[in-house]
């Protein structure tokens, strides 16, 4: 397509001087929604396991994941990679063909893509369509896609004493994961404290336990993962974690780190490793005052177009219309990252051809894995809840779910240890929002209710 020829392409063919490069499309960010084959979810799961680092070491050797980088691309490649990413292993084997190069031999040239690693954009002037890197290079674009994602909230942000200690770890990028893996290897059978009872907290305490650490978790809420779990659901996971030997301290926060961890309620936990997962915040400072914001993110329409012409925002940074529920939301999960990227690229491509596309019609999908557990959730966690199935953490084969019911309709569904078919069935429930029978019938029917939809 002729649109490809507008791309600056390889650096040698970029227009203008060395100091200024011009491209038709620029993506800032090289994470999940920027469609680099970066499997960030693996960092808190397989990568942390004793045998896990091998899986991603190839990615590391290829230097796919500098701490900060951005890339320029064509629509052609975006679609290609989106398809390829369905099978990450296959994609990695393609990449193996040419080491030290992000894209397989020839592909980069054909698609005219420039990937610029280890380059932080420190200034974005949307009026003049100019980006400036920390090294002072400038980049001009016609269309900009903001995919800067999130960064971790740090304990220093809460003014916690001693929070800069060397044994305190956060997890966002692969180099964070590598530092943690090295520490785990250096101290066998150590003590670990995990601060936070959300995704990172639950996934990392399991990983540390599998690495033979004595693990304690501390979080302020009355139960873990309060953003999604009901008390019943959390009771299962907490019971399961305790069965695995994890010590859970609830209802308090880390107030300081001396040699040991000082908790607000006074208890001390000796820790060789402290892993902190107290939430994330979207990286949007570069665009402050230039673009409309909402709910902590960059406001977009159903095509991920921001309030500024030719500027799009995707992934964690975008606050977009959630058509299914009639409100604006920001979502910090990979499924939306990939789908928002696809939607933005399709919208850009269509508008260049004078065509339109359908609104983004996203069904929230979150998942997590730890130990031999694996759950999926679809829809909206609002209204009354009912739990079904075997949620006894002591049982050999627990399997249970939850439905959320509002205004007589089933709005959300969760399933632990479902088969692919069962997960598809609960997805359908959340998508179609069928009329709910009584909570008692839903509880007794359980998965049978989903399989009828
Ligand atoms: P990111 O993937 O964070 O990418 C942003 C990129 O932009 C980064 O490469 C960053 O370096 C770069 N960048 C930022 N600012 C600049 C700048 N100024 N200049 C240049 N580059 C810049 N979600 C799930 O659904 N399931 C999971 O199992 C799951 N597991 C996760 C495990 C971990 C350890 C983490 C941290 C997150 C996990 N998530 C998971 C969340 C998911 O990874 C994010 O929602 C997703 O990565 C967001 O994609 P993104 O492209 O918006 O941002
Ligand atoms: P989170 O929001 O899931 O959980 C943060 C937890 O920390 C909450 O329980 C919160 O109350 C607690 N907390 C806050 N302040 C605290 C304090 N001072 N002391 C102790 N606990 C405190 O965030 P996260 O687990 O840090 O995850 C970071 C990001 O990574 C999020 O965007 C998340 O969606 C993403 N992530 C997703 C997955 C997944 O989808 N499976 C896995 C890992 C990470």
**Residue-wise pLDDT tens digits, 299-336:** 999 999 999 999 999 999 999 999 999 999 999 999 99
Q: Which of 38-52, 144-158, 249-263 has the lowest mean pLDDT?
A: 38-52
Handedness of CA 197, 283, 378, 294 (dihedral sign): positive
Is the predicted ipTM greater than 0.85, yes or no? yes
* Mean pLDDT calculated for residue range 60-70: 27
Residues 185-206 have a mean pLDDT of: 95
CA Rg value for the chain: 23
Q: What is the tally of helices (H) and strands (E) in the chain?
A: 11, 26
Q: 284 C-alpha vs ligand 1 centroid, how far in Å?
A: 13
Q: Please identify which residue in the block is written with the tokens 């030997």.
A: 245
Ligand 1 pocket, residues with Cβ under 6 angstroms: 28-34, 40-41, 43-44, 67-70, 120-121, 147-150, 171-172, 283, 286, 315-316, 332-335, 337, 366-368
Q: What percent of the chain has pLDDT over 90?
A: 60
Token pair for 409: 């309709």
- Measured over the CA atoms of residue 41, residue 47, residue 52 and residue 56, the dihedral's sign is positive
Closest residue by Cα to atom 42, ligand 2, is 199
**Is the CB of residue 195 below 6 angstroms from any atom belonging to ligand 2?**
yes
pLDDT classification of 271: cutoffs 50, 70, 90: confident
pLDDT digits (tens, 9 = 90+) for 41-53: 777 877 777 764 3
How many CB atoms are closer than 10 A to CB 155?
A: 25
**pLDDT band (50, 70, 90) for residue 77:** very low
Residue 276 CA to ligand 2 centre (angstroms):
9
Whole-number pLDDT of residue 102: 45
Longest Cα–Cα distance of the chain, Å, equals: 71
Report which of 385, 382, 290, 300 is spatially closest to residue 336, judged by C-alpha positions. Answer: 300
Residues 6 or more apart in contact with residue 382 via CB below 8 angstroms: 404, 406, 411, 412
Pairwise pLDDT comparison (178 vs 103), residue with the higher score? 178
Whether the Cβ atoms of residue 338 and residue 376 lie closer than 8 Å to each other: no
Which two tokens mark 153?
């909230």
Ligand 1 centroid–CA 405 distance in Å is 32
The reply to whether ligand 2 has any atom less than 6 angstroms from the CB of 168 is no
Hey, whose CA ends up nearest to atom 12 of ligand 1? Answer: 29
| DSSP letter (8 states) at residue 285 | G
pLDDT (average), residues 228-249: 98
**Of 302 and 352, the one with more pLDDT:** 302
Cβ of 173 closer than 6 Å to ligand 2, yes or no, is: no
Q: Which two tokens stand for residue 396?
A: 């050999």
The confidence score (pLDDT) of residue 135 equals 86
Give the ligand at the shortest distance from the Cα of 275. 2
Q: What pLDDT shows up at residue 76?
A: 27
Identify which has the larger pLDDT, 148 or 43. Answer: 148
Sign, CA dihedral 263-269-273-278, equals negative
pLDDT tops 70 at residue 87: no
Q: What is the pLDDT of residue 5?
A: 20
Q: Is 149 in the pocket of ligand 2 (CB under 6 A)?
A: no
Q: Which ligand is nearest to the CA of 121?
A: 1
Instruction: Name the residue with the closest Cα to ligand 1, atom 27.
Output: 41
């Amino acid at each position: 397509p002729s649109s490809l020829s507008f791309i600056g392409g390889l650096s040698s063919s970029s227009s203008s001087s060395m100091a200024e490069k011009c491209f038709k499309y620029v993506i800032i960010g090289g994470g999940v929604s920027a469609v680099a084959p970066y499997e960030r979810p693996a960092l808190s799961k397989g990568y942390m396991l004793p045998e896990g680092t091998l899986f991603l070491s190839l990615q590391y050797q290829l230097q796919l994941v500098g701490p900060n980088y951005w890339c320029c691309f064509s629509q052609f490649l975006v679609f290609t990679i989106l398809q390829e990413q369905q099978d990450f292993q296959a994609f990695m084997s393609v990449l193996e063909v040419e080491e030290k190069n992000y894209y397989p031999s020839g592909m980069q040239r054909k698609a005219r893509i420039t990937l610029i690693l280890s380059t932080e954009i420190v200034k974005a002037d949307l009026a003049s369509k100019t980006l400036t890197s920390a090294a002072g290079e400038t980049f001009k674009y016609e269309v900009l896609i903001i995919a800067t994602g999130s960064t971790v909230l740090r304990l220093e942000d809460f003014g916690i004493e001693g929070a800069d200690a060397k044994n305190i770890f956060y997890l966002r990028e692969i180099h964070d994961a590598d530092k943690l893996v090295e520490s785990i290897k250096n101290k066998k059978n150590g003590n670990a404290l995990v601060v936070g009872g959300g995704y990172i907290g639950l996934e990392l305490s399991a990983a540390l336990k599998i690495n033979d650490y004595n693990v304690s978790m501390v979080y302020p809420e009355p139960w873990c993962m309060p953003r999604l779990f009901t008390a019943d659901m959390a009771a299962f996971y907490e019971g399961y974690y305790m069965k695995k030997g994890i010590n859970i301290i609830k209802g308090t926060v880390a107030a300081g780190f001396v040699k040991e961890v000082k908790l607000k309620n006074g208890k001390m936990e000796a820790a060789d490793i402290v892993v902190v997962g107290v939430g994330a915040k979207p990286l949007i400072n570069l665009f402050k005052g230039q673009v409309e914001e909402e709910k902590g993110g960059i406001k977009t329409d159903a095509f991920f177009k921001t309030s500024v012409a030719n500027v799009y925002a995707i992934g964690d940074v975008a606050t977009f219309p959630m058509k299914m529920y009639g409100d604006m939301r920001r979502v910090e999960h990979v499924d939306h990252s990939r789908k928002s990227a696809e939607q933005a690229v399709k919208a850009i491509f269509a508008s260049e051809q004078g065509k339109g596309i359908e609104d983004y019609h996203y069904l929230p999908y979150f998942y997590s894995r730890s130990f031999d557990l694996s759950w999926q959730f679809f829809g909206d966690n609002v209204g009354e809840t009912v739990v079904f199935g075997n949620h006894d953490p002591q049982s050999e084969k627990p399997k249970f779910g939850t439905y959320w019911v509002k205004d007589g309709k089933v709005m959300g569904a969760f399933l632990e240890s479902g088969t692919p078919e069962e997960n598809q069935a609960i997805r359908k429930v959340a998508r179609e929002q069928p009329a709910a029978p009584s909570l008692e019938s839903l509880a007794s029917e359980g998965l049978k209710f989903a399989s009828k939809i």
